[in-house]
Amino acid sequence: MKIGQWACAIAAAATTSLSGAAYAELAYPTKPITLIIGFAPGGPTDAIGRVLFKTVSQKLNVPIIIENKPGAGGNIGTQELMRAKPDGYTLLYGTSSITTAPPLFGRDDLNPTKAFVTASCSVSVPLILLTNKAMHMASAPQFYDAIKTDPGKYFQGSSGNGSIDHLVSMDIANRLGLDFQHVPYKGNGPALTDLVSGNVNFMYSGSFNSAMPFIQNGQAKALAVTSEKRSVSLPDVPSLSEVVPALKGFDAGTWQVLIAPNGTDPEILKKLDQALQASLKDPEVQKSLRFQGAELMNKDPEACQDYVASEYSRWSETIKRLGVKAGG
């Protein structure tokens, strides 16, 4: 197993010789923390981040100021973090885009295994395969068979070229031999609006709270989720892994992690991880997370770093294989 930056930082700290029998406890934090979110206010990442870090702020006993820095698939926020001092007072609440945006935009300098350190794993959110009511589809296998029967007939809405829902859709299409028309939108919301209006036939939505009203009133049909197991927020909806033999073991979606600049003191990383993990166990936070379709990742910092590395490898290979380009 590749040793992550977290493990390297801990090892380096362990070999540092200081006078005295024990380390003095690090005085952190002592002032407000800036948390960068690389997406616009109101989106799924922003919604979860604001709820979660309100509690983290209480655990750390300092204000946490959220700054939204949208653009370039999250790369703008990542670049902002990389310009920050490694003092624990500027952090990034990153998503799976830290593993997809660099290969999409050809930004090797933003390689998440080298450009920064992952302090803590937070939550994962599967995508929901949705069709509009006019499709009259009862299951994912029936839907995929319909696409195979009429290649090029159906239209998929996505939250944008190179978005995680677009990439997951293309990966599935490649595995199953599907041919359809892709219609990119500027966000999940506009795509969902056009889905229920009948302008597109299907989408993979990463926003549970936006999709749920339409699922409940029958304007959209949830056929499956893209996680390997069912979502606790949609327990009656199967996973693609369950019902599509060719997708056995398939597991994809978005996830969220706390990131710090390279060179951040390991003791700061430890405090951040402890505060975040404690906040994830807060009953009110968990209630909000379920509403968002989010589930705890339950990974320690080293496992989290390894997971990010494996996802970067996975999506770099997938993007290259499928020939996906940012913006088209």
Task: Indicate the burial class of 14 (C-beta count within 10 angstroms; 0-12, 13-18, 19 or more).
Answer: exposed
Distances (CA, A) of 328 to 61, 105, 171, 181, 319: 45, 11, 16, 13, 13
* Rounded-to-integer distance, Cα 38 and Cα 75, Å: 7
More confident residue, 84 or 21: 84
pLDDT of residue 328: 57
CB 252 within 8 A of CB 226: yes
Other beta carbons within 10 Å of 278: 14
* 63, containing H or E segment: none
Q: Is the pLDDT of residue 3 over 90?
A: no
* Rounded-to-integer distance, Cα 96 and Cα 122, Å: 11
> Which residues, other chains included, contact 230 with Cβ-Cβ below 8 Å and sequence gap of 6+?
237, 238, 239, 242
pLDDT of residue 24: 53
Q: Is the pLDDT of residue 2 over 80?
A: no
CB 5 within 8 A of CB 301: no
* Rounded-to-integer distance, Cα 130 and Cα 212, Å: 11
Q: At what angle do helices 5-14 and 301-322 cross, to 10 degrees?
A: 150
- pLDDT band, residue 271 (cuts 50/70/90): very high
- The domains located in the chain, with CATH, are 33-124+253-322 (3.40.190.150), 128-247 (3.40.190.10)
Residue count of the chain? 328
- pLDDT band, residue 325 (cuts 50/70/90): confident
* Rounded-to-integer distance, Cα 16 and Cα 12, Å: 7
Q: Is 57 helix (H, G, I), strand (E, B) or coil?
A: helix
Note the pLDDT tens digit of each residue in 272-304: 999 999 999 999 999 999 999 999 999 999 999
pTM: 0.88
- Provide mean pLDDT across the span 246-263: 97
Note the pLDDT tens digit of each residue in 6-62: 444 444 444 444 334 334 578 999 999 999 999 889 888 999 999 999 999 999 999
Note the pLDDT tens digit of each residue in 110-150: 999 999 999 999 999 999 999 999 999 999 999 999 999 99
> Which residues, other chains included, contact 99 with Cβ-Cβ below 8 Å and sequence gap of 6+?
112, 308, 311, 312, 314, 315, 316
The residue written with tokens 């977290």 in the block is: 6
pLDDT of residue 327: 64
Note the pLDDT tens digit of each residue in 187-230: 899 999 999 999 999 999 999 999 999 999 999 999 999 999 99
